[in-house]
Structure 1
Amino acid sequence: MIYRYALSYLEAWKKNPMRKPLILRGARQVGKTTLVENFATEFDCFLRLNLDEEEDRNLFTQYKEIHKLIEAIFFYLRKSPNQGTVLLFIDEIQNSPEAVAMLRYFYEKRPDIYVIAAGSLLENVIDHKISFPVGRIEYMTLHPCSFLEYLNGIGEDFDQQAIEELKADAIHERLMYEFRKYCIVGGMPEAIKVYAQTKDLLSLDTIYDALIASYSDDIEKYSPNETQTKVMRHILETGWQKGGETITFERFGGSEYRSREVGEAFRTIQKAMLLELVYPTLNNRLPLEAQLSRRPKLIWLDTGLMNYKAEVREEVFSVSDISDAYRGHIAEQVVAQELLAHTTKVSERRYYWIGGKRNSTAEVDFVWKRQPYVLPIEVKSGINAHLRSLHLFMSNAPHDLAIRVWSNRMSIDEVKEPGTGKMFRLLNLPYYYVGVLDKVIDSIMK
């Protein structure tokens, strides 16, 4: 079993007396069902319904009154209704509008029962084909496994703990070696499980193929027309090679498709949480505002899938510095993935920064919201003087901390911005610490 940090969110949800039925969102095969099953061990009774099954769906069409429905569920699953704390898990809930509608009554009339619902492509049916009861439910997102969860999954608990305690300097080389393997294996739980058993990277090919095929099949179910189906197929076939890059919709991937068609297809795939279009911001302070008229950066849900489809696994494994692999795009992809891996907020988004002046080419790879500030993150090695865009960002930032992610050990440099003479601290962060970035920042701000 891979320990998922999202369990701590579920445990807090369980203790909250004001909790609501929870909708668990995330791409197919990121581990939603397994997460709930592991969480279920904390309850006296676990009720699971899969609404892919007709018999399970029929419960919600036959019983319209909440108390009768609950009684029927216990009877149907051969469980006693007097077993203490009860967790009801409704999987593939998008298949039953009646089940979705019933969530409000669990909240209003049976708050004693803990309810979690999940489903495939929920993002494409919410408020489109099915209306979820506003104000009666809450949401949580699950992403692919982080590097820390990967370490746990392959049995490297000592290394995982060293990172969590910020005591990893002595094992830096070993962790960078494992991080390069994480870039190849990725964060899909099944891939981690198989790799932990076989230690064979090539054995993962069938897993990746099956995942991508299932994503393509799912997406097509919600395509509004044949043209969109073709465009989405094209993106899912060729778009992996553009991961970590800023992209243009017009004639994407060497196609003849127009900007509007490609944009609509990308947004549909984004709703399925297979990718994110990361837009730039002009701001170096809160609030961040996405510049939707500018070119977005394409970030896929998982580095393992991306590297497999882009056919760059051998290059990633052989380089000594991840920043050198695939023109630096692998490094940006995996850092973006790590930045989001441990959050459960549905609304959480990533941004990169661009200079606001006309014809400016200044660009910082990512920005990180750290109340009350916005911190710039560059993903590259090299001498400090060459970080020109980062210098520009810091010239009028209301703080003195910038971040560079690299393959070397953690350190802090005192840097002088040449234009204004402002002094700031440059936190040089090894890749394996990105997943605990907040903890690192806390440690240096004491």
Structure 2
Amino acid sequence: MYRKAIEKLYGWKESKRRKPLLIEGARQVGKTWLMKEFGRKAYKNVVYINFDSNSRMAELFSTDLDTERLIMGIELYSGKKIEPGQTLLIFDEVQEVPRALSSLKYFYENAPQYHIVCAGSLLGIALHGGTSFPVGKVDFLSLYPLSFQEFLSATVGERYTELLEKQDFEMISAFKQTYIDALKQYYFVGGMPEAVQCFAEDKDFNEVREIQKRILAAYEQDFSKHAPIEIVPKIRMLWNSIPSQLAKENKKFIYGLVREGGRAKEYEAALMWLSDCGLVHKVSRVNTAGIPLKAYEDLKAFKLFVVDVGLLGCMTGLMQRTLLDGNDLFQEFKGALTEQYVCQQLKTCENLGIYYYTNDRGSCEVDFVIDTGIQVVPVEVKAEVNLRAKSLKMYCEKFSPEISIRTSMADYKKEDWLVNLPLYAVEELGQITKSIL
């Protein structure tokens, strides 16, 4: 499967200011595969070290962190010569040996000729857990589940993805049913690599659901294995409450729905743990449209989305027939699923600050407002082709944005103050806003 992130890795390799690279992301989003695939394509040799339950590596890094000594030890362990610039050195599950994380500082300062990429499940937890890890000595890359365009390439073909990237909406409209069918499939399958690969090969929705159940079970095991024991029950309760929170018309996260009488202070640590793991996306409220939006963030009001739309469907027991054929009883949750999908695609776009807007009276809510660094773009999400957008109009009358986006199953259309953007083209939102201005 093609992952767009590999292009960033090629750019990292050629950078004159290259530092050891840390790939962050939730468990099972494809970090190990990406590192190995990059090494296979871009380097003469690859030395792969998995630090999980690796006593020999733990011992090697336990004394001094002299880079020459470490390289010699890794060469002895792997049986391979590490040639600067020719060998990719991969540290996987690097959080299991904290001093290996600390060593990256010395590789950057004393041995920058070595190309090192690192990843690990729960790496965000390790970095926030007091590990001796100096800021500014590493590069970071965030990896998410496959985006819809990556899913489209894997299941239907790259030509369909190319049309979206070219924004050839006249041609896209001629084949829109293919895009709509693929989007409904993506709502069920999601972007976890194992699920996508299974679906691409066998088109078996039942097997996909079994894979999703295994992934969710692994996350539950991580709660017990890695989180502080006193917050494990709170993590579980918070995690399991997300689908019902998203099903509400007002999707603001309410602690009282996690447990009756629940308060923010009780669940702050649990929420931070899930966020550091990459399992949830926290989208904060703003009540104005100034740049930067971060300066106007309301830290007490937020929506919470999970890492993957397919996993959200699995958590709720959503059947593929309900998604693909439609069901009158499904209308309520369809909006939640669509917002989850849009959030997930926006997260894959670089340099976008993602928030949502409500006015102080709560009479106007815009699903997402995006800070591109140049302007603030309101984004209204519609699950079908219903194009009524009362809140978006109120927002535009108040703030007069240069561009507004309404995304739905309707075709692309640019009006005076509004762009109708098909849901299957949401990933192009950043490029579209640039090209219009």
TM-score, normalisation: structure 2: 0.91
Change (3 A) 1:81 1:328: closer
Match of 1:178 among 172, 182, 205: 182
How far is the alpha carbon of 1:56 from its aligned partner?
2.9
How far is the alpha carbon of 1:327 from its aligned partner?
4.9
How far is the alpha carbon of 1:107 from its aligned partner?
0.4
SS where residue 286 of structure 1 aligns? coil
Query: Residue 23 of structure 1 contacts residue 137 of structure 1 at CA under 8 Å; is this kept in 2?
Result: yes
Structure 2 residue aligned with 1:229: 232
Change (3 A) 1:210 1:201: same
Structure 1 residue aligned with 2:291: 286
Matched, 1:330 2:322: no
Runs of 5+ in structure 1 lacking a partner?
A: 415-424
Correspondence 1:37-116 to 2 at 5 A: 37-41=36-40, 42-52=42-52, 53-61=54-62, 64-82=65-83, 85-116=86-117
Structure 2 residue aligned with 1:422: none
Structure 2 residue aligned with 1:202: 206
Matched, 1:122 2:123: yes
Q: C-alpha deviations, 1:333-367, integer Å up to 9, x for none? A: 10111111243x7xx652101114xx242110001
Structure 2 residue aligned with 1:15: 14
Correspondence 1:264-343 to 2 at 5 A: 264-288=269-293, 289-294=296-301, 296-313=302-319, 314-319=321-326, 324=331, 326-343=333-350
Partners of 1:189 and 1:308 in 2: CA distance = 15
Change (3 A) 1:441 1:84: closer
Q: C-alpha deviations, 1:37-88, integer Å up to 9, x for none? A: 1111201221111110222333222563210110221222111244852211
How far is the alpha carbon of 1:257 from its aligned partner?
4.2
Structure 2 residue aligned with 1:27: 26
Query: Residue 85 of structure 2 contacts residue 114 of structure 2 at CA under 8 Å; is this kept in 1?
Result: no
Query: Residue 249 of structure 1 contacts residue 263 of structure 1 at CA under 8 Å; is this kept in 2?
Result: no
Partners of 2:407 and 2:214 in 1: CA distance = 33
Query: Residue 244 of structure 1 contacts residue 297 of structure 1 at CA under 8 Å; is this kept in 2?
Result: no
Matched, 1:251 2:243: no
Change (3 A) 1:4 1:374: same
TM-score, normalisation: structure 1: 0.89
Partners of 1:109 and 1:87 in 2: CA distance = 17
Q: C-alpha deviations, 1:154-174, integer Å up to 9, x for none? A: 242221222122221211111
Tell which deviates more after alignment, 214-223 or 34-43. Answer: 214-223
How far is the alpha carbon of 1:326 from its aligned partner?
1.2
Partners of 2:353 and 2:260 in 1: CA distance = 28
Partners of 1:81 and 1:23 in 2: CA distance = 20
How far is the alpha carbon of 1:138 from its aligned partner?
2.0
Query: Residue 394 of structure 1 contacts residue 400 of structure 1 at CA under 8 Å; is this kept in 2?
Result: no
SS where residue 405 of structure 1 aligns? strand
Partners of 1:56 and 1:304 in 2: CA distance = 37
Matched, 1:391 2:393: yes
Query: Residue 219 of structure 1 contacts residue 272 of structure 1 at CA under 8 Å; is this kept in 2?
Result: no
Query: Residue 152 of structure 2 contacts residue 160 of structure 2 at CA under 8 Å; is this kept in 1?
Result: yes
Partners of 2:30 and 2:358 in 1: CA distance = 35
Matched, 1:379 2:381: yes
Query: Residue 373 of structure 1 contacts residue 398 of structure 1 at CA under 8 Å; is this kept in 2?
Result: no
SS where residue 369 of structure 2 aligns? strand
Query: Residue 104 of structure 2 contacts residue 137 of structure 2 at CA under 8 Å; is this kept in 1?
Result: yes
Partners of 1:143 and 1:158 in 2: CA distance = 23
Query: Residue 285 of structure 1 contacts residue 374 of structure 1 at CA under 8 Å; is this kept in 2?
Result: yes
Structure 1 residue aligned with 2:166: 165
- Counterpart of 2:242, as a letter, is G
Partners of 2:435 and 2:255 in 1: CA distance = 45
Query: Residue 45 of structure 1 contacts residue 83 of structure 1 at CA under 8 Å; is this kept in 2?
Result: no
Partners of 2:269 and 2:70 in 1: CA distance = 40
Q: C-alpha deviations, 1:349-405, integer Å up to 9, x for none? A: 52101114xx24211000122341101000125666x42221222124354311100
Structure 2 residue aligned with 1:430: 422
SS where residue 300 of structure 2 aligns? coil
Partners of 2:130 and 2:65 in 1: CA distance = 20
Change (3 A) 1:15 1:320: farther
How far is the alpha carbon of 1:306 from its aligned partner?
0.2
Matched, 1:239 2:238: no
Partners of 2:276 and 2:359 in 1: CA distance = 29
Change (3 A) 1:131 1:249: farther
Runs of 5+ in structure 2 lacking a partner?
A: none
How far is the alpha carbon of 1:298 from its aligned partner?
1.6
Partners of 2:349 and 2:33 in 1: CA distance = 17
Query: Residue 84 of structure 2 contacts residue 115 of structure 2 at CA under 8 Å; is this kept in 1?
Result: no
Identity %: 29
Match of 2:193 among 189, 213, 219: 189
Partners of 1:223 and 1:282 in 2: CA distance = 34
- Counterpart of 1:378, as a letter, is E
Query: Residue 146 of structure 1 contacts residue 342 of structure 1 at CA under 8 Å; is this kept in 2?
Result: no
Query: Residue 242 of structure 2 contacts residue 305 of structure 2 at CA under 8 Å; is this kept in 1?
Result: no
Structure 2 residue aligned with 1:401: 403
Partners of 2:237 and 2:373 in 1: CA distance = 40
Partners of 1:255 and 1:43 in 2: CA distance = 55
Partners of 1:29 and 1:83 in 2: CA distance = 30
Partners of 1:112 and 1:33 in 2: CA distance = 22
